[in-house]
């Protein structure tokens, strides 16, 4: 039996093969194989073509998704260094092509001539536009950051007048001195005594957040208190800001759908905005009550008349009929915009400045020499203070310090990106 197994198997195999060939098996596979080959060849062509566009466009541009994959990879790392590298390779300007049927198409430029044209020469032709306003409206409302035309001019004029008032300047200086001497220096001293590392960027962010809240709302959130506690309002503001920024790298239809469903970063935004609004409207309500009592002439509310914070100033404003000039919603928007303007910009500038000093010992030595010269001039006049607080005229004489800060801002600007839309003026 064993000697017959092989021939039988061979015969069966041959018969099967013959049947397979006879039924057109290979011929039947040819169209499928050709289709696969065409798809593979087409895919290779698309990849090569997209990658070769890097030379002419600055980034690979893929079918359907455009340059979005490169943007997502850039956001995961140092986004601004990545954009700077692309701009440098393209001579200062390049066109970003977003996914099909989205509004992520834009021209990115760092050319000083273009920036002067956009931000100065033809400023009126380049508003923030509806795309920017719709993207940030949930957080910033109708505040100055998202406003255009007359709304922007009215807010800027009102804020500018108050910023230059003696009361407002005094409030800014006194609050900052209080925070630096009563909180910042003790926190740094305790950290140094414990031999622990300090997250300077976090500490500076807490400093500027406390300072700007005192200037905007007239309240102290206490972010820089001993132990560096987590403050619900500060946490909510940070989360809301981050979630809003994510919208700019997400197709509008996508984030709007996520908002409707309450998922992803839109869910975080909704929850954090509730925290921001709860804090803001509570402060606004109490301030109106305080000013109303103060206006009635009650002695215990005299503090309301002495306040010089932004909220109090705008709350006191009246229209032609003597009614409140601004609604609670508008007051909320003004203060939230001011916090956003002053919180990150100052802390980021200071963090980069101190980082650069750590890398340039010669610059640090010259700044210290300049400061020591002013302190010595004080001592020669017989002025002795327990706490060293520099006066405005002394700060103006710190020319080298001013130059170092300016250079830090040039190298690492606090607001490295500005969004504009083109508008044809009749």
Domain residue ranges in the chain: 33-126, 156-344, 360-416
| pLDDT the model gives residue 150 | 78
pLDDT of residue 6: 43
Looking at residue 304, its pLDDT comes to 47
Least Cα distance to 130 among 425, 422, 333, 426 occurs for: 422
Q: Residue 390: how many CA atoms within 13 Å on its side-chain side?
A: 16
Angle CA 224–229–234, to nearest 5: 75
The low-confidence residues of the chain, meaning pLDDT below 50, are 1-23, 299-302, 304, 426
Contact (CB, 8 A) for 213 and 237: no
CATH class of 156-344: mainly alpha
Q: How many Å from the N-terminal Cα to the C-terminal Cα in the chain?
A: 101
User: CB burial class (10 A; 0-12, 13-18, 19+) of residue 31?
Assistant: exposed
Task: Give the integer Cα–Cα distance in Å for 168 and 162.
Answer: 7
Please answer whether residues 319 and 374 qualify as being in contact, where contact means their C-beta atoms are separated by less than 8 angstroms.
no
Instruction: State how far the Cα of 376 lies from the Cα of 381, in Å rounded to an integer.
Output: 9
What DSSP line would sit under 241-310, residue for residue? HHHHHHHTTS-HHHHHHHHHHT-HHHHHHHHHHHHHHHHHHHHHHHHHHHHHHHHTT-GGGHHHHH--SH
Residue 123 pLDDT: 86
CA 93 – CA 110 distance, rounded (Å): 6
């Amino acid at each position: 039996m064993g000697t017959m197994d092989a021939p039988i198997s061979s015969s069966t195999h041959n018969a099967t093969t013959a049947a397979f060939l006879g039924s057109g098996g290979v011929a039947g596979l040819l169209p499928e194989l050709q289709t696969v080959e065409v798809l593979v060849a087409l895919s290779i062509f698309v990849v090569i073509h997209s990658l070769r566009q890097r030379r002419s466009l600055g980034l690979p541009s893929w079918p359907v998704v455009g340059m979005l994959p490169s943007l997502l990879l850039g956001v995961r790392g140092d986004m601004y260094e990545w954009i700077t590298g692309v701009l440098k390779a393209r001579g200062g300007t390049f066109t970003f092509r977003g996914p099909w049927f989205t509004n992520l198409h834009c021209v990115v430029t760092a050319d000083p001539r273009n920036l002067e044209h956009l931000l100065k020469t033809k400023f009126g032709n380049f508003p923030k536009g509806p795309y920017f306003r719709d993207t940030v409206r949930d957080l910033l409302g109708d505040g100055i950051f998202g406003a255009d035309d007359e709304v922007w001019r009215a807010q800027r004029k009102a804020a500018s007048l108050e910023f230059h008032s003696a009361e407002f300047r005094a409030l800014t200086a006194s609050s900052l001195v209080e925070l630096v001497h009563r909180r910042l220096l003790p926190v740094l001293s305790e950290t140094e005594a414990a031999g622990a590392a300090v997250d300077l960027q976090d500490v500076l962010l807490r400093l500027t957040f406390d300072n700007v809240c005192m200037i905007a709302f007239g309240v102290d959130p206490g972010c820089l208190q001993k132990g560096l506690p987590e403050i619900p309002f500060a946490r909510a503001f940070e989360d809301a800001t981050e979630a809003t920024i994510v919208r700019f790298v997400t197709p509008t239809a996508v984030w709007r759908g996520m908002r409707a469903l309450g998922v992803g970063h839109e869910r975080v935004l909704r929850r954090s905005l509730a925290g921001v609004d709860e804090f803001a409207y509570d402060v606004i309500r109490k301030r109106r009550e305080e000013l109303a009592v103060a206006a009635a002439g009650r002695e215990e509310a005299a503090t309301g008349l002495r306040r010089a914070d932004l909220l109090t100033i705008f709350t006191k404003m009246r229209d032609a009929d003597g009614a409140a000039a601004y609604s609670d919603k508008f007051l909320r928007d003004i203060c939230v915009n001011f916090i956003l303007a002053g919180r990150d910009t100052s802390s980021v500038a200071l963090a980069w400045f101190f980082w650069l000093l750590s890398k340039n010992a010669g610059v640090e030595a010259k700044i210290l020499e300049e400061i020591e010269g002013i302190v010595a001039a004080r001592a020669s006049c017989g002025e002795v203070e327990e706490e060293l607080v520099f006066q405005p005229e002394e700060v103006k004489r710190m020319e080298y310090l001013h130059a170092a800060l300016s250079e830090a801002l040039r190298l690492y600007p606090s607001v490295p990106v500005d969004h504009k839309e083109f508008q044809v003026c009749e």
